Amino acid sequence: MSDRKPLYKPDDWAGDYARDLGDPGAFPFARGVHPTMYRGKLWTMRQYAGFGTAEESNARFKHLLAAGQTGLSVAFDLPTQMGYDSDHPMAEGEVGRVGVAIDTVDDLERLFHEIPLDQVSTSMTINATAAILLSMYVVAGEEQGVPREKLEGTIQNDILKEYIARGTYIYPPEPSLRLIADIFRFTADAGMSFNPISISGYHMREAGATAVQEVAFTFANGLEYVRRALSAGLDVNQFAPRLSFFFAGYTDLFEEIAKFRGARRLWARLMKEKFNAGEAACRLRFHTQTGGATLTAQQPVNNVVRVAIQALAAVLGGTQSLHTNAFDEALALPTAQSATLALRTQQILAHETGVPDTVDPFGGSYYLEALTDQIEKEARALLDSVEARGGAARCIEAGVFQEAIAHSAYAQQQAVEAGERIVVGVNQHADDQPPPPPPGPDFRALAEAQRKRVQKARQRREQGKVRVALAELKTAAGRGGSDALMPRILEAVRVRSTLGEISDALREVWGVYRPR
């Protein structure tokens, strides 16, 4: 947002305190979703990790928990995200490269070995195969002796943003949305303390969206999910309190603080106006991750400063949980040392800065309140234009979001190349030092070991039970919206069907999505 004044005065904010701000914990929640915010409980420090094999990832999880992390966050490799087993030809060259490979529930049990699932909150960045990974988590809990209502965490499960910005979709939008509504029903009926979706603006921001586009397009997707759940017969006040969101934290400090505050107020108003939702269903609860696209391979230690500023913006904006990127992530997977430093950044914010001592400390700033109003107003106008065109699903099919983000990304890159937007160490204050070479594991050996593991898993199981479970899943998938899918997926997982086999069963019925 470039149209900012050099000075803000009292008449730059004409809002009403009760109508536009309210106390923390009170509608419209601009100042926070809880009355005491971090004075009562700090944000969850949830570092994102996933390395090749379940054993490596388990070791990193234990290291971070010992260092003071308060929640786990799992990165999965691309074959897992796309519904392919590690020995499938489509998985060649990708096994374990951007996260952990999970083929069966036994892999997930190894991932959480000696980590009691009733004592941690786990976030899983998984979308097209979210129902399968959630089922594996439930079965892993059962086999640990932990009932599903004792499990806590979040699955991303946001397929619409995959069509827009990230690309790890499998099925067409309609059956994908049916599956998401089925997950909503499953978690609500089971009484799980599990967020069934994390509606994500992060990946759109990383693809080049502006702060305003991030808010507007995220909420357009959110409204689509709410309507699909309502059409499936769910009660908004039953499922909406468990909706969670996921935003990026970038380096423009005051724009980001205002973005989070304006987003909280806008979502509350939308839920009240459109669905007459109760207060619990109007609260915008969100996770923040610092900006991966802002990290530079040149002078990578500078990223420590960027991440600290971005984390500060998220905390001042009232986030419920936070991941801070490691400074070397522009080069490779973070080392244990850099990941620990990223966690220490959050801990210093929490314990040394005094920032958590007062709720919404910038509330009432002429500048911040004017900026909050501006972001909410512009995001609402953009959201209204999406709604006028039939909502998120139709706009995705027409390429509306994709085109807008592409234009924004191009304009931002042009500004960097023209020197109008300064990136320290890249287009100003650069040096001749080449980026350090990225370290990396032996992915060939890792992939071969995982292929052998999944092949042995198929040999050990009772094949008849697998055939029956997959056949029942296909039958349910083909009946339209009348049959619940999650119980069938759970049973397929329980008898050791692989992730690829379950995904293929649904591919046979639903087909795959081909963008226009």
Spatial separation of the C-alpha atoms in residues 406 and 511, rounded to whole Å: 28
Selection from 303, 336, 304 nearest residue 69 by Cα: 336
Report pLDDT for 49: 75
| Three-class DSSP category at 244 | strand
Phi, psi of 56 (to 5 degrees): -65, -45
Neighbouring-strand partners of residue 52: 100
Dist. CA 286–CA 225, nearest whole Å: 16
What single-letter amino acid sits at 183? Answer: I
- Most distant CA atoms of the chain, gap in Å: 74
- Return the SS3 of 153: strand
Specify the pLDDT at position 50: 75
pLDDT the model gives residue 440: 66
* C-alpha to C-alpha distance for 55 and 51, rounded to whole angstroms: 9
Contact yes or no for 321/300 (Cβ under 8 A) = no
Q: What is the pLDDT of residues 11-26, one digit of tens each?
A: 899 889 999 999 999 9
Amino acid letter, residue 53: T
Q: Report the SS3 class of residue 289.
A: strand
Nearest-CA neighbor of 100 among 123, 82, 79?
Answer: 79
The pLDDT value given to residue 438: 67
* Phi/psi at 38 (5° precision): -75, -10
pLDDT attached to residue 286: 97
User: Which letter does DSSP use for residue 47 in this model?
Assistant: E
Residues of the chain with pLDDT under 50: none
CB neighbours of 311 closer than 8 A, spacing ≥ 6?
249, 290, 322, 324, 345, 346, 349
How far is residue 277's CA from residue 22's CA, in Å, rounded to a whole number? 18
Q: Give the pLDDT confidence of 16-61 residue by residue, as tens digits.
A: 999 999 999 999 999 999 999 999 999 999 877 777 788 988 988 8
What angle (nearest 5°) sits at the alpha carbon of residue 371, between those of residues 366 and 372? 100
pLDDT value of position 2 = 62
- Contact predicate 128/173, CB 8 Å: no
Distance (Å, rounded) from C-alpha 208 to C-alpha 217? 13
Sorted by sequence, the CB contacts under 8 Å of residue 442 that are 6+ apart come out as none
Distance (Å) of CA 454 to CA 98, 288, 297, 498: 19, 34, 36, 8
